[in-house]
Structures are given as structure tokens and as C-alpha cells.
A and B are shown apart, each in its own frame.
Chain A
Amino acid sequence: MRGIIKEHIGFGWQIWTLSLLELKAMCKGSILGFAWLALKPLITLLMFWFTMLAGIRASSMIAGFPRFDFMLAGFIAWFFMRDMIIGGAKCIRKNSQYVTKISFPISVVFTFTAISKFIVHMGLVILMYIYLILAGYRPSVYHIQFFLYAALMFLFFLACSWTLGSWSVFSRDFQNFVSSIVTGVFWVSGVLWDSRNVDNRWLHYFVMLNPVNFFVNGYRKTFLYQEWFWRDGKELLIFFAEFLIVLCIGAYNYKKTRKDMADVL
């Protein structure tokens, strides 16, 4: 952990430049360019909304809110998490020139990849907020919780990427496994459905252990439910325990594999 922080010292400018570069690379070669970063998630969201309403004929309200708004808050968080999981697993291989060609602090690759995704996320959040205001939600003091949840989400999935990315260097199969399991994570997490409304006691615990739910519900608490994050102490405690574990495992795996990465790639 200390090693990772040390690698970042004096790299402020570079990280920012590289993040922007990564961002540029994400949408190069298309006419609409940056617009795709917002269009793609919007299309996904509308498709799911249509399916829910027209196909499954779910009620148009969920948890006391319009289904679209409910899904919007969840999806915005989910898109970031999805990008972080897939991007985090891929990022070292994608930027292998920093590993095999020059001496470069590899943990910085995780950071600038994450920041580039986070910039996109912030853009989407701003769009969502404009929509919510137009839809009649009033600015409220609960909204400042967003910064807490966003920061935690960034750090949590950055720490995840240390493990996912390091292992992916050693096995392409693992990288493919991560990409393919993401869809599964989406369905077992309460992005489309309300994970707070689970009756079965065992399922309830299972749902609570899922960090994706922590963030999805966190965004809903912030923008829809108007609830403070400390109201559910058990949930908070479980999350921080998981965060600590992910952090330790990530730092351990990174340290263990860092020196071998150049030889493998």
C-alpha cells in the first residue's frame, strides 16, 4: 500500500494528462465523439426501461418513485462500476508499453484509467441531475452525500482493479472471465429491481453483502429517498469491512506481481 502511494508521488500532472489521453482514445474515430459517452448509456437505459414497462409490464412506480428515475439513479452508478471492473481488468495489457518499454510506476496506470472513467461518470451525473431538477426534484441537502458515495466508489473499484488487472496480466482467461461475469453481477445486483425489498432472510443478507448494492442504493438514497448514509449502520459496517479486505488483497497482489509483469507481457 505504501509502495503504491510512493509510486504516485510527483505524478500529479502526468496522471491528469494520461487520463485525458485515455478519454480521447475512448471516443476517437467517430463523428459524434464525446457524445457517445452519454448516448451509449442512455440507449441502454431506455432499452431496459422499455422492456420493463412494455415487455414485463412492471408497474410504472417502484419504491415510491417513477421507474425511470429509480432505474436512472441505479444505472448511473452501475455504468461506472461496470466500466471500472472491465477497464480495470484490461488496463495493464492495454497500456503494456508502459510496462515493457519504459520504466513507469505501473500502479499509476490503474489510477489514470480510473480517473478517465470517473470523468465520464461525473458528466453522466451532471446530466442526470439536470434531468432530475427538470423532472421536479428540488435540490436538497441530501444531495451532498453524492460526493461521499462517488469518492468511495472510485476508491473501492480502484482497489479492485489492482487485483483484477494484475491477475489479467498473467492470464487472458481471467480477463475474459471478468468481462463475462459482469453481466451476471448486473442481474444479481439491484440495479433494475429494489434490493431493499427482499423478504427472504438469507437472500436479504446475500443482497447486503454485495457492494454494488451499497452504491446503487447509496445513489438512490442521495437523489431519491432522501436518507442519510448512516441510517443503516449494519450496511455501512459491512461495506467498510469489504473495502478493507479489497484494499489489502489488491495491494498484496499488486506488490507480488509487479516485478514479474514486464517478463510476462
Chain B
Amino acid sequence: MNVRNMEDDIIIKFQNVTKSYKLFKNESEQFAALFYKKKLLRQHMAIQDVSFEIKKGEVVGIIGRNGAGKSTVLKIITGVTFPSSGTVDIHGRVGALLELTAGFSFEMTGRENIFLKGYILGYSKKQVHSIENEIIEFAELGEYIDQPVRTYSSGMRTRLGFAINVSTEPDILVIDEALSVGDSYFREKCNQKIKSMVENKVTVLYVSHTLSAIEELCERVLYLSEGRLVFDGDAGEAFKKYKANK
């Protein structure tokens, strides 16, 4: 019985996941490869044979140097890209704080963008209505909400993007250093929000280069190096390994 519950709790499961990018000499070879098998110039292995499980409500940090495969892991979780081999199981809605302004239309107003983004995430009109005010309040845009997004400052856009993503009640929240944008006041507000989401059993994956930010939030850390998962466990120990490797 217990075992079964444990199984049910797993919200993200990577099993021997490998992602390789095909590299071609030029675009025409890339096009030709659609029609017949051609020798690749090179295959870049972004991640190799990565397996891990994340349970519901866990807060997990991902560290690693540039090109270690952190972003690829996140992209696979958010469903933007697909693994070349291995299986990925994800149960629940994924909210991504990767590129906060992704999916925005700059010609439309902030309010229209809330609806657009809501629809893209699969919400109905009524559902978006119910979170509309919460988003506007959190983003602190005031009357700017009815101005086109192109007139916003980058900080305002980020705020709106963040507010939309956290208000859509994801089961899994993926964060990629997005919080380094914005002033310290708003950053603090975001951190508070994330903490309250963690308390509400939202699973969080946090990717960052700044260890202090991860330390604050995560107990468990995945350490990736050259596409392989080299450590999975206690945050303190992961940092030791990471620093030793530097």
C-alpha cells in the first residue's frame, strides 16, 4: 500500500533520457536529411542517460556549468523539446519561468495578453476572468494594464509574465534564473510567492548559477556535468562537488 502511494507521488520521472542535437554543415544538408539518411556532421549530446524522479512538493535545484544540459532538461520538462531516447513522465501542469515574456504579443495590451496566455495554457474565458485581477494586482501595473505591451519597460513585462505564470496554478514550476530580473523589492516578492507555492505542495525546479539563491530554496540538488547526472542528493554535498570540480 505504501509503495503504491510512493509511486503516485512521483510527478516527474526521467528514465535513461538522452537528447542529441543533430548538427549539419549547412541548411541545405539539414533539409536534405529530411529525405534520405545522410551522414551527420556531428551529433551534440546535450544530455546522456539521465534518470531521476521528483516527488510532488519537492523543491529541487539544478546546477552545472554552461552547456551541462540544465536548460535541455528544463525544455524537456516544459514540453518544448523532446528526448531522442528514453522516457519522460510528467503528471500535472507545468508552469515555466524560463522566458517570462514568451508568448506575449507586443501589440496587444497587458490585459489582452493575460487572456491570450491563459488560452494558450488551456484556460477557458471564465477561468481567466477569475485570475485576471490577481494577476494585475501582483504585477503592480495599475492602469498600464490596458496599454500595449510594447510600451512597457522590460521590468514591467517581466512582472506581468511572472504574475501570469504563477497565477495559473501550475503543479510544477520551472524557474531558470528568471528572478534575477527586476528590482530587489519585486524579487523579494517573487521569492515570497514561490515559498508560499512550495508550502502549497507545488513542485519547484530551480536552475541557477548563483548557489546562494538555490541554497535558500532547495534541499535536494541535481548536479549535471557534460550532459550527465553526476550527483543527486543533499544540497550542501552537491555544492562541495561542484566547487571541487571548478
A residues adjacent to B (C-beta < 8 A): 10, 13-14, 17-18, 21, 24-25, 28, 97-104, 167, 170-174, 256-257, 259-260, 262-264
Contact = CB atoms under 8 A, between A and B. Distances in A.
Contacts of B116: 17-18, 21
A257 B34 contact: yes
A256 B30 CA distance: 14
Task: Decide if the interface of chain A is mainly helix, strand, loop or mixed.
Answer: helix
Contacts of A262: 75, 80-82
Chain B interface category by residue count: 20 to 34
Contact of B107 (A25, A167, A171): A25
A14 B108 CA distance: 15
Interface in B10-37: 21-22, 27-28, 30-31, 34
Contacts of A97: 102-103
Nearest to A29: B107
A17 B105 CA distance: 12
A10 B34 contact: no
A171 B79 contact: no
A46 B147 CA distance: 40
A261 B31 CA distance: 12
Contact of B80 (A17, A103, A260): A103
Interface stretch (B117-125, B211-219, B238-246): B117-125
B103 A170 contact: no
The 3 lowest CB-CB distance pairs between A and B, nearest first, are A103-B79, A101-B102, A171-B31
B96 interface: yes
A171 B34 CA distance: 10
B31 A173 contact: yes
Nearest to A101: B102
A173 B29 CA distance: 11
Nearest to B98: A101
B115 A173 contact: no
B95 to A, nearest CB: 11
A100 B80 contact: yes
B34 A170 contact: yes
Interface string B125-159: 10000000000000000000000000000000000
